[in-house]
Structures are given as structure tokens and as C-alpha cells.
């Protein structure tokens, strides 16, 4: 498995970001549902590549956003809507268990091209400690690889929705109640690389909805049963530099370093927890929970763990990227 080059990640653990700075009292409302994901990175970091660490401004804004995300997870649907800016009557997603992703331009396929040991993702020790299966579906385990690719142009209501070649690569374990994201390149992200850029994007494009359907069940997913009782959402690895910067700051602010499992854990309602909830990955997780209350109830993120895998490093990739575990509580 090709390892992400993250030598810059450890710059974020240096003195530049070692000072812990809590935000002022008073937390701004979250932006609209769409802007909360699509424009999250641009709003926080600008259009350029992110710096090697989360600045004070970025950190404080992520903490504020994460605080609001937590309140939205704890509230009912109407209450979560009132925390949007501008406020809305409800935030419930239009996508529900059993939807057909093909009508939105997605092709889906099962995949077995993954391993959890040091030759692959390097998270088998973490899965064992969490009492999650580390074997593949159909081979004595419960982990099914699932690849979604947005490769079909769609015409609907007088509009043309271009194929963006976006991908969501995940592992679903419905028996142990876990969703593992291996990599995600959303239609919004991929559209920025297209020339000309499309005017309209498929409505089914956010991780909060795609991940929900991958775990909960969609038309033609080929797996037994439906996903209930989600307890863990894992990102292995974190391949988004914006999130890496926030994770690095969270470790540095508590005088920690990136370590193998058990890594470093933060309560979700801590300053560091709020910051990660307010980062792009945390935003996607939070929205998956508070926009699907009909299925989940008031499920919330309870704890966040940062750790590195067990893979070997080499001269080309001297450092390992972080992984994230979002542990959920409550709801159904």
C-alpha cells in the first residue's frame, strides 16, 4: 500500500503550534447545510493549499464549528435546524435506507482489495482492541469493501449533471457496527479539477449521505441485512491535509505525539474534540448523524482517537499518516 507522505505532519507538532489557545466565549452558528461541507475547507483555509499547522484563527473556527455540530447532534431535528444560519425548519436528509445510487450517477461495486495488517492499512491492532472483526466478508469475517464511483452523466429536470469521477472507498461491517473510510474524493472536490467546470453537481455527493447509504443499506448493495446501531466511524488513513493540520494541533496542544494504538483519545466535548469535529472529516461525521435522526435517533460522537498504523516506513515515506476513530454513543 502506498503510504501518504506526511513529513510535514510532524512540523505541526513543533513549537509553532504548541501554545494552547481557547476560543472566546460565544460560538457562532454553523453555516447552511450545503456550505457546511462543500465550502468548509475554503472558508477555513482559503483557496490555497493549507499550511503545515492549524493557525490560531483556523483552530478557533474549527472549535466553534465543532461545538455547534455537537449541539446539533444532541438536538432534535427542529432544534438542529434552528442552529443553522439562516435557521431552517428541519435538516433531515432526503436520502433513506434502500435508495438507488445509480439514479444519481454512481456505479457501485464490492471490493476485497484491502488488508488490515502491517502490509495494508495497519489497523488490525486497533480493530482487535475495539473488538471489531479484522477479517474480510466471506472469509470468516464481516468486513465488506465497497467502492462508489461517480461515472455516469445524468439528465433530470432540464439539467445535466456531469460525471465527476468522484470516489468513496469504504469498508462496511454491519455485524460489529463499524464504517471505515479508506479514501474519499467528493464530486465537489473533483469538479474543481474539471475543464470546463460543471454548472450542476449530483445532489447525492456528501460523505454524510454516501457513507450513510453504504452502511445502512442501498438498493443492490449485495450484502445481507441492513446496518443498524452504528458505533464506530474510522478514517484510515487521514488523507486530507486540512484535517492533518487540525489533528497535529490537537496533539501538540496536549503535549502528545502521534503513536500506534492505543494512540491519544479526546472526549468529543473537549476543546480538541470540538476542533476535530469542526474539521472537514468531523463535519461529515456530525452531519451524517444529525441529518439522519429518523434512523439514528440522537446519536452523538462521544470520543475521538488519533493513532498511526503499524506499517513499515521507508526513505520515500519516512512518516505514517494519522488515523481517526470516532466512537459514537446514544441513539439507535
Whether residue 36 contacts residue 290, with contact meaning beta carbons closer than 8 Å, is answered with: no
Least Cα distance to 12 among 278, 243, 238 occurs for 243
Distances (CA, A) of 330 to 16, 48, 122, 208, 285: 38, 38, 29, 18, 15
Q: Give CA–CA dist 239/259, Å, rounded.
A: 17
Per-residue confidence band for 288, with pLDDT thresholds at 50, 70 and 90: very high
Question: What is the chain's mean pLDDT, rounded?
Answer: 83
Q: Which residues of 2-27 are buried (b: 16+ CB within 10 A; e: fewer)?
A: ebbebebbbebbeeebeeeeebeeeb
The per-residue pLDDT for range 218-255, each reduced to its tens digit, is 776 777 666 788 999 999 999 899 999 999 999 999 99
**CA angle 211–106–159, rounded 5-degree value:** 115
Q: Strands 167-173 and 264-267: what pairing?
A: unpaired
What pLDDT is stored for residue 85 in this prediction? 85
Q: Residue 158 pLDDT > 80, yes or no?
A: yes
The pLDDT of residue 312 is 80
- Asked if pLDDT for residue 78 goes beyond 50, the answer is yes
Instruction: Give the confidence band of 97 by pLDDT, cuts at 50, 70, 90.
Output: confident
Contact 306, 263 (CB under 8 A): yes
pLDDT of residue 140: 84
* DSSP symbol at 221: -
C-alpha cell at 288: 451524517
pLDDT of residue 278: 96
**Strands across the sheet containing 264-267:** 106-111, 144-150, 167-173, 178-185, 232-235, 322-329, 300-308, 264-267
Q: Where in the chain are the domains?
A: 1-332
Q: What gap in Å lies between CA 184 and CA 190, rounded to an integer?
A: 10
**Phi and psi for 252 in degrees, rounded to 5?**
-65, -35
Q: Provide the pLDDT confidence category of residue 273 given band limits of 50, 70 and 90.
A: very high
Give the Cα separation of 214 and 207 in Å (integer): 10
Tens of pLDDT along 160-194? 999 999 999 999 999 999 999 999 999 999 999 99
Amino acid at each position: 500500500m502506498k503510504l501518504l507522505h506526511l513529513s510535514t505532519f510532524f512540523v505541526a507538532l513543533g513549537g509553532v503550534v504548541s501554545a494552547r489557545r481557547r476560543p472566546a466565549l460565544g460560538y457562532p452558528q454553523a453555516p447552511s447545510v450545503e456550505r457546511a461541507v462543500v465550502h468548509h475547507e475554503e472558508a477555513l483555509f482559503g483557496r490555497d493549499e493549507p499550511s503545515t499547522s492549524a493557525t490560531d484563527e483556523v483552530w478557533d473556527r474549527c472549535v466553534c464549528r465543532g461545538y455547534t455540530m455537537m449541539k446539533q447532534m444532541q438536538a432534535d431535528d427542529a432544534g438542529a435546524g434552528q442552529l443553522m444560519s439562516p435557521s431552517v425548519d428541519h435538516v433531515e436528509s432526503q436520502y433513506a435506507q434502500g435508495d438507488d445510487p445509480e439514479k444519481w450517477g454512481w456505479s457501485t461495486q464490492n471490493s476485497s482489495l484491502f488488508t488490515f495488517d502491517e502490509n495494508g492499512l495497519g489497523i488490525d491492532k486497533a480493530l482487535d482492541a475495539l473488538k471489531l472483526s479484522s477479517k474480510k466478508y466471506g472469509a470468516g469475517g464481516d468486513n465488506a469493501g465497497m467502492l462508489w464511483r461517480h461515472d455516469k452523466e445524468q439528465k433530470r429536470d432540464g439539467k445535466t449533471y456531469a460525471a465527476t469521477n468522484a470516489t468513496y472507498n469504504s469498508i462496511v461491517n454491519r455485524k460489529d457496527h463499524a464504517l471505515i473510510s479508506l479514501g474519499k474524493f467528493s464530486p465537489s472536490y473533483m469538479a474543481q479539477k474539471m475543464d470546463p467546470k460543471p454548472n450542476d453537481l449530483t445532489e447525492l455527493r456528501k460523505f454524510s449521505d454516501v457513507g450513510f447509504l453504504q452502511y445502512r443499506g442501498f438498493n443492490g448493495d449485495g450484502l445481507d441485512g441492513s446496518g443498524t446501531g452504528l458505533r464506530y466511524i474510522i478514517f484510515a488513513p487521514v488523507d486530507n491535509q486540512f484535517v492533518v493540520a487540525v489533528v497535529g494541533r490537537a496533539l501538540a496542544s496536549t503535549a502528545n505525539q502521534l503513536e500506534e494504538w492505543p494512540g491519544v483519545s479526546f472526549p468529543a466535548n473537549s476543546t480538541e474534540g470540538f476542533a476535530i469535529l469542526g474539521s472537514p472529516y468531523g463535519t461529515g461525521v456530525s452531519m451524517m448523524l444529525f441529518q439522519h435522526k429518523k434512523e439514528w435517533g440522537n446519536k452523538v460522537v462521544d470520543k475521538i482517537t488519533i493513532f498511526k498504523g503499524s506499517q513499515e516506513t521507508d526513505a520515500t515515506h519516512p512518516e505514517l499518516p494519522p488515523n481517526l476513530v470516532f466512537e459514537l454513543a446514544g441513539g439507535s
